[in-house]
Amino acid sequence: MFSVRIRVAFGVITALVIALLSSTAALADGPWPNDPQGPQAKAIADLYWIMFVAAVGVLAIVDGAIIYAGIKFRERPGHVAQQFHGHNFLELTWTVVPTLMVVSFAVLSWQKLDFINNTRGGDVGMVIQAQGQQWQWTFSYPHEDRFKLLDGTYLQTSEQLDITVGTKVRVELSAKDVIHSFWVPSIGGKKDAVPGRATELWIQADKPGTYKGQCLEFCGDGHADMLITLVAHPVSDYDAWAVAAVKDANRLIDPLTKVGHDTFLSLACVGCHTVKGTTAGGKIGPELTHVASQKSIAGGVLSPVDEANLTRWIKDPPAVKPGTKMPNYNLSDQQIHDIVQWLLTLK
């Protein structure tokens, strides 16, 4: 019925449609520019949709004309092609219409760019520095009391950036080594971070939530893992987050807990226990990342989790819980003391 050529064309088109649909499904839970969650992302998405609809219209008209002509004027016995030259109306139309379209896209984009690039407006509520480095982002929070650490420096975090809902945040970008690019698609446009040059963009989230982002400038082996997690907190929760983040950061610089931390990491403990944020990744014993927030340890045998009980446990586990897989390491009292001081900060 259909010629081989038509059947092949059908096959190819079907395959393309299937490929397109399945990749759309894969995109559904990744960063996706057309799921705007803030004013800046919305401005970009609006522009995108205007251009997309116009492009689909052009595609339909052009391809429609090609298909129509291909069928209506196809080669058949008894039909001879007409020869003619020039057609003023058609030629004017396909010059003027595209010109008008391109000019209006340019004007529209220009207007949106004013809005998108307005990082210095009076409505900026917070300024954060983001530095790209192979292969992670470091965020420096403003020099405000709530972000102040024990050593007088201010809070810095990696990979995760915490802001408040509804606040326009200027992100000042820099790069330590090569060019990186800051991009959290559903929150805003992207901007390159260039060594030796200051660039900036603004972001704003309309709803509380966690938004995924990604370095968008190929920057070496680890580029694909150079992720950004943007967390937008309700204004009422932000101070509590700041207090917790400062506490976490202080734990790492407090000389008292540092000794215990180093002792723990230098012993066999790391082979059996995981503590997130450290090199300890063992899986035989329970994870200790939040051990100080637990109600009990050793499967409920010791409660509460305090200095006395932790000390008792580490001093001689089998004495506390006969048959336990954690042996007695005969550590010195000083070592146990240091480790316990550190464990107590793992909230």
Residues that bind ligand HEC (CB under 6 A): 264, 267-269, 271-273, 284-286, 288, 291, 294, 297-299, 310, 313-314, 321, 324-326, 329, 339, 343
Exposed/middle/buried for 235, CB within 10 Å: 0-12, 13-18, 19+?
Answer: exposed
Give Cα separations from 311 to 205, 325, 337 (angstroms): 46, 17, 7
Q: Least distance to ligand HEC from the beta carbon of 256, Å?
A: 17
Say which entry of ligand HEC, Cu ion, none residue 340 contacts (CB below 5 to 8 A, set by partner kind). none
Least distance from Cu ion to the Cβ atom of residue 198, Å: 17
Residue 311 contact partner, candidates Cu ion, ligand HEC, none, CB within 5 to 8 A by sort of partner: none
228 binds Cu ion (CB under 5 A): no
Q: Using DSSP bridges, classify how beta strands 227-233 and 160-164 pair: parallel, antiparallel or unpaired.
A: parallel
182 binds, among Cu ion, ligand HEC, none (CB under 5 to 8 A by kind): none
Q: How far is the CB of 8 from Cu ion (least distance, A)?
A: 43
Residue 304 contact, options Cu ion, ligand HEC, none, Cβ 5-8 Å cut-off depending on partner type: none
Asked if 215 interacts with Cu ion (CB under 5 A), we say: yes
Least distance (Å) between residue 305 CB and ligand HEC: 8
Residue 164-203 contact track with Cu ion, rule CB under 5 A, x = bound: ----------------x-----------------------
> Which one of the spans 1-9, 211-219, 267-275, 299-307 is the region binding Cu ion (CB under 5 A)?
211-219
Residue written as tokens 């819980």? 321
Closest among 219, 154, 140 to 183, alpha carbons compared: 219
Q: What residues are paired with 229 via a beta bridge?
A: 160, 212
Query: Closest separation between CB of residue 202 and ligand HEC, Å?
Result: 44
- Whichever of 140 and 309 has its CB closer to ligand HEC, that residue is 309
CA distance 338 to 251: 13
User: Measured from the CB atom, is 236 or 332 closer to ligand HEC?
Assistant: 332
Minimum CB separation from ligand HEC for residue 262, in Å? 13
Cβ closer to ligand HEC: 176 or 325?
Answer: 325
Instruction: Using CB atoms within 10 Å of the CB of residue 44, give its burial: 0 to 12 exposed, 13 to 18 middle, 19+ buried.
Output: buried
For residue 318 the two structure tokens come to: 């089998």
Q: Tell me how crowded residue 208 is: count the other CB atoms within 10 A of its CB.
A: 14
SS3 state of residue 298: helix
Q: Are residues 156 and 164 in contact, defined by beta-carbon separation less than 8 angstroms?
A: no
At 41, which amino acid appears? A
Residue 278, C-beta contacts closer than 8 angstroms, at least 6 positions apart: 261, 265, 270
- Between residue 235 and residue 294, which ones bind Cu ion under the rule CB under 5 A? none
**Residue in 215, 167, 158 with CA at minimum distance from that of residue 190:** 215
Q: Which does 329 bind (CB under 5 to 8 A by kind): Cu ion, ligand HEC, none?
A: ligand HEC
Question: Is 219 near Cu ion (CB under 5 A)?
Answer: yes
- Cis previous bond, 36, omega within 30: no
Identify what 313 binds: ligand HEC, Cu ion, none; CB under 5 to 8 Å per kind. Answer: ligand HEC
H/E element holding 174? strand 168-175
Write out the residues near Cu ion by the rule CB under 5 A.
Answer: 180, 215, 219, 226
